A and B are shown apart, each in its own frame.
Chain A
Amino acid sequence: MPHQERRFNPYTENGGTILAIAGEDFTVIAGDTRQSEGYNIQTRYAPKVFRLTDKAVLAVNGFAADGNMFVQKVQQRLEWYAHAHNKPMPLKAIARLIQTMLYAKRFFPYYVYNILGGIEEDGSGAVYSFDPVGSYEREACRAAGAAQSLVQPFLDNQIYFKNQLPPPGGAHPRHLPLNDVLSLVIDSFTGATERHIEVGDGLEIYIVLAPNKSSVELERLPGVKRIQGTFDIAGDASPDVTAAAAAVGVTGEKMFVMRRELKKD
C-alpha cells in the first residue's frame, strides 16, 4: 500500500462572534462567550474581548489558542512600551503594532480575526479591524467571526444607514448615541444566537468612554460594571505590576463592562 502522508493540522476553529462600534466619544466592543469545536460546546464562558490599556480593547476570534497567545503577546509589548515611554501606547500605534505582529507570522499565520476598539488621542471613538495576516483599516463598525455574515449587513443598515433615505432637508447622523449603539449590539447578538449554532451562552460588552464623556447614564444600566485598569494578564496582577501601571497613569476609570445572558441552546 502506498504510504500516504497525514500531516498534523495545527489549526482549529472555535466559533463565536465579535463586534465593535465607534461613537463620537465612545467605543463599544463586544463578543459572545461560547467556545466550541465542531458541534461540541467546550465552555460557556471563554472571554474573547480583552482590555489592553485604559483606552484600548482588543477582541479576537477564530482559533482560540492563537487568539489567547496573540493577546498575551500584545499585552506584553504594551507593558514594555509603557515602561520605556512612561505612558500607555496610543490606539493608532497599537493598531500598527498589531499589524506588524500579525504580518511577522505571514507564512504560519495566527488564525485569528482581530478587532481593536478604543479612544484615539484626539478623544474620538475608533475601531480598527484586521485580517489574520495584518491588513487593517479604521472603521466606524465591524463584525467578525462565525456570524459576521449575519451581523454585518444589519450594521450597514443601522449604523451607516445604508439603503435608507435621509429625512427631507436633513442628513443621517454621523454618530449614534451610546444607548442606541448598546441596543444594536444586543439585538445583533440575540439575532445571531437565534440563527447560528456557534453563537450564544453569554455576551460581554466593553464600553470605553472618552475622558470628557459622562458615565452617569451608563452606570445606571443593569449589569454594567466599572473596571479598574492595570497591565495584568490573568486578572490577578501582582502588586508591583499594578503599581507600575498606576505610575504610568493607567487607571481605567473610563472603561466599563456589561455582561448579559444569551440563549444556551
Chain B
Amino acid sequence: MSIMEYNGGSVVAMVGKNCVAIASDLRLGNQALTIATNFEKVFPVTDRIMLGMAGLASDVLTLRDRFRLLVNMYTIKEEREIEPETFAHLVSSTLYEKRFGPYFIEPIIAGLSKGSNKPFIASTDVIGCINFAKGFVVCGTATDKLFGVAESLWEPDLEPEDLFETISQTLMNAVDRDAFSGWGVVVHVITPEKAFTRYLRARMD
C-alpha cells in the first residue's frame, strides 16, 4: 500500500473574485481504520496565506512546524510579511531539498497578495514541482473525484459566499466517494477585509 494513502485526506483550494478559499477533510486514518476526526490539514501561514497538506500525517505535522520556522526566519530577515508566490517557492525549494528521500505530502498554497489583493493558489507534487493553476487546485486521496466535481462546479469571479458554497460542495461530494477522506470538513475563505473558517456538517461514514 502506498505511503500517500496510509493516513488518507484531501485538500482543495479555489480562486474567487478578490478572494480565495481552501478546504480540507478532517479524517486521520491508519489505512482503513479511522483514528481521529479532527485532524486539520490546513494551517495559517500569515493573515492572508494558508497552507494545506495531504499525505503522510507525520510529515504534515513536521512540515507545518518547519514552514512556521522558515516563515518566521523570513519575516525577521526581510522585516516584512511573505508574499503568497514567494511562499510557494519556499515550499517548493523545501520539498526539493529532499529530492531523493521526499516528504510524503502534496501541499496547496492559497492566499491574497499584500498590495494588490490578487488571489493566488498553487500546488506542488511531493518533490516541489509547482503548479500555478488559474481556477482551482486539489490534492490527496480524493484527487480524481475533486477534479471531476470542481471541473464542473467551479466558475470564474465567484463572490466569497458563492465561492464558499462551491468549494464546500466540491469537497463534500468528492470525499463522500472516497473511503480514505471525509469525516467532517473545514473551509477557510480569505478576503481583503476578513478571513473566516467554517466547520461543515458532513457525512460521518
- Chain B residues within an 8 Å CB radius of A195: 144, 147-148, 151
Residue from the list B152, B172, B202 in contact with A154, Cβ < 8 A: B152
Q: How far is the CB of A222 from chain B (nearest CB, A)?
A: 21
Chain A, Cβ-Cβ closest to B147: A195
A153→B148 contact, CB < 8 A: yes
**Which of B40-48, B61-69, B105-113, B173-181 lies at the binding interface?**
B173-181
B172→A150 contact, CB < 8 A: no
- Chain A residues within an 8 Å CB radius of B149: 150, 153-154, 157
Which B residues from 10 to 47 make CB contacts under 8 A with A?
A: none
State the majority secondary structure of interface residues on B: helix
A162 to B202, alpha carbons, bound, how many Å?
10
B197 within 8 A of A: no
B145→A150 contact, CB < 8 A: yes
Which B residues from 164 to 198 make CB contacts under 8 A with A?
A: 168-169, 172-174, 176-177
- Chain B residues within an 8 Å CB radius of A151: 148
Q: How far is the CB of B178 from chain A (nearest CB, A)?
A: 9
- Chain B residues within an 8 Å CB radius of A162: 172-173, 176
A150 to B174, alpha carbons, bound, how many Å?
9
A191→B151 contact, CB < 8 A: yes
A192 to B152, alpha carbons, bound, how many Å?
9
Q: How far is the CB of B133 from chain A (nearest CB, A)?
A: 12
Indicate the size class of the contact surface on chain A.
10 to 19
Which A residues from 141 to 177 make CB contacts under 8 A with B?
A: 147, 149-154, 156-157, 162-164
Q: How far is the CB of B192 from chain A (nearest CB, A)?
A: 29
Pick the most buried of B147, B173, B174: most chain A CB atoms within 10 A of its CB: B173
Residue from the list B147, B168, B173, B202 in contact with A156, Cβ < 8 A: B173
| Residue interface mask A185-198, B partner, CB < 8 A = 1 | 00110011011000
A188→B152 contact, CB < 8 A: yes
A187 to B173, alpha carbons, bound, how many Å?
16
- Chain A residues within an 8 Å CB radius of B176: 153, 156, 162-163
A156 to B153, alpha carbons, bound, how many Å?
13
A191→B148 contact, CB < 8 A: yes
Q: How far is the CB of B41 from chain A (nearest CB, A)?
A: 19
Q: How far is the CB of B182 from chain A (nearest CB, A)?
A: 11
- Chain B residues within an 8 Å CB radius of A191: 148, 151-152
A187→B152 contact, CB < 8 A: yes
A195 to B145, alpha carbons, bound, how many Å?
11
Which A residues from 17 to 34 make CB contacts under 8 A with B?
A: none
Given the known inter-chain contacts A156-B177, A163-B173, A164-B169, please indicate yes or no for A149 contacting B153, CB distance below 8 A.
no
Which B residues from 124 to 168 make CB contacts under 8 A with A?
A: 144-145, 147-149, 151-153, 168
A154→B173 contact, CB < 8 A: yes
Chain B, Cβ-Cβ closest to A150: B148
Q: What are the 4 tightest A-B residue pairs by CB atom distance, in nearest-first order?
A: A150-B148, A191-B151, A191-B152, A157-B173
A residues with CB within 8 A of B: 147, 149-154, 156-157, 162-164, 187-188, 191-192, 194-195
28 contacts between A and B (CB under 8 A): A147-B148, A149-B144, A149-B145, A150-B148, A150-B149, A152-B145, A152-B148, A152-B177, A153-B145, A153-B149, A153-B173, A153-B174, A153-B176, A153-B177, A156-B173, A156-B177, A157-B153, A157-B173, A162-B172, A162-B176, A163-B168, A163-B169, A163-B176, A163-B203, A191-B148, A192-B148, A195-B147, A195-B151
